[in-house]
Chain A
Amino acid sequence: MDLIPGLPFDVGLECLVRIPHHYFSSVSSVCKSWKRQIQLPEFWRHRKSSGLTRKVVVLAQARVDPTREQGAKKYGAAPVYRLTVCEPETGFGGTAPDSRVFRRVADVLPGGRGRVEISGDGRVGPGDVGGLEWCVHLRLYLRHVAARGRHARPPPPVLRVRVRFRSDGVRGGRARRREVRPEIRDVVRRGERRVVPPARHVGRARRIQRGLPRREIPRHQRVRDERSGRFGTSAESLDVATRRWGPVQEDFWMRPRVRETARTMGAGSCSWRAGPTWRSGGIVRVASRGGAAVGREKHGVRDGVAGETAGDWIERFGAPYKTYLLDLKRCKWEKVEADEEFSGHVQSGCCLEL
């Protein structure tokens, strides 16, 4: 059947393919055949091969409650996330209304715990890299990834990023491996927390530090230690495109007083224009080129706690985060004023080509 009456199918397809992705909701409302067409993987492959796709960053970000009370409320409330969409090249974006996020998160996170992962329409997880697999559909959903237990889903394929840290002279410098999804690269966000962590997280920090599973650390050893889990300032980076390690950068984490959590996002081989392009106050920075390093710095347990991922770790739920930009060229952090509503932590994110 013709897509546009009077025109051959191919020509109609050429027209549809050239519509910017954010109009697809109205386009797919026109008729069933248009909707069907837009949902086909071939359609997106065609868009990509014609060079018509744009990179879109999608984040699931904790909602900051303006009426929050101060204090540790980590276990008090189930996290609620909002979905934010941004097109780095144009700065165009939008935020899902809360009602939708509530509904979706409630659907997929029955207990309200665990990690939220963004994926595109169930076809491609953010762990898939390269090739046409990156073509995904516009509709996004939040997926519950079980935090532990034998029913946990196998994680998506990952590359490893080495982060070098040292334990403040107690042990020698030692390379550690940290998993990060390879396509999560170019956009860097960092949070800072000031609350003294509960003791149980110290054990977790140590476990990470030693590379031991949690159960292998005796409970009595999971105590606060001013030297434990101290991260150094050097880092290495992995260029996902070439799969090569960059040189060790000694003072990569420049600010010694602040615990840093970096989470990088982006697509495998993208290089975006530099500059803060987030429309609503700059929660992400688009790095210019090259591999991003992922790591965290720890300055005594009183200042912070290492978590396995930057995202699944909520110390004071609902509190705003300070936002920093990482300039990958100069290896410098820079503080950014973000709107409070966009200062929740980023739980998950991915870069889609739409």
Chain B
Amino acid sequence: MVTTDEKGPLTAKKKSVIIRSCDGDEFLVSESAAVLSTSLKKILEEKEDRLIHLSDIDNKTLAMVIAYLSTHADDGLSDDLKRSFDQEFVSGKEFDVLKYLVLATDTLQVTCLCYTVAKKMADIMKNKLVEWVRREFDIQNDYTPEAEAEIRRLDAWAWDDRQLEDD
């Protein structure tokens, strides 16, 4: 299966690259979009081959990353539009989806997307209860109950008007 990116049919002038996910599906990406990823750029510089196989990124994640890259490679869009696209892009996504996304950006070295996703994850966890963060992020609580109580007592004073959520 060959999927064109969101920009529609590619013109003959533009070079394109085919990226294959670990599920075996192939994505057609313009070269200007692909070079936004540092690692893809390196690969393209090294070899002539226009087919890149990514063994650790699945279909769904790769499609998202490519949508992001294509939008950011589009010179016709203003920075404001790109910024609002970034917000739309990460909004409403589950933590697991974001996790795979951020792993993929780490592999592909797309710094700006990595920062966008990291910001989203920080936003998710910032006003949540400690228990919520531990549960969702699967983090082991290695504090003794006394130590934990002491920490929270000491630090909570300065910003007492926030609302912590647990949902």
Contact = CB atoms under 8 A, between A and B. Distances in A.
B114 A11 contact: yes
B12 interface: no
Contacts of A139: 154-155
B158 A85 contact: yes
A26 B161 contact: no
Interface in B118-148: 118-119, 121-123, 125-130, 133-134, 137-143, 148
B164 interface: yes
B95 to A, nearest CB: 10
Interface string A94-109: 1011001000000000
A19 interface: yes
Interface string A13-33: 011111110111111111111
Contact of B118 (A14, A22, A34): A14
A4 B95 CA distance: 12
A194 B42 CA distance: 73
B139 A5 contact: yes
A258 interface: no
B148 A29 contact: yes
B113 to A, nearest CB: 11
Contacts of A96: 157-158
A94 B139 contact: no
A103 B159 CA distance: 19
A10 interface: yes
B85 interface: no
A5 B106 CA distance: 15
Contacts of A28: 151, 155
B14 interface: no
Contact-residue size bin, chain A (C-beta under 8 Å from the other chain)? 35 or more
Contacts of B151: 25, 28-29, 35
A7 interface: yes
B47 interface: no
Contact of B134 (A6, A8, A10, A31): A31
Contacts of B129: 26
B99 interface: yes
A338 interface: no
Nearest to B111: A14
Nearest to A25: B155
Nearest to A83: B158
Contacts of A16: 122
B49 to A, nearest CB: 28
A17 B122 CA distance: 8
A138 interface: yes
25 contacts: A4-B139, A5-B138, A6-B99, A6-B138, A7-B103, A15-B118, A18-B119, A18-B121, A18-B123, A22-B158, A23-B126, A23-B127, A25-B152, A26-B152, A26-B164, A29-B155, A31-B143, A35-B151, A85-B158, A94-B157, A94-B159, A94-B160, A100-B157, A139-B154, A139-B155
Interface of A: 4-8, 10-11, 14-20, 22-35, 83, 85, 92, 94, 96-97, 100, 138-139
Interface of B: 99, 102-103, 106, 114-115, 118-119, 121-123, 125-130, 133-134, 137-143, 148, 151-152, 154-162, 164
**Top-5 shortest CB links A-B:** A25-B155, A18-B122, A14-B118, A22-B159, A15-B121
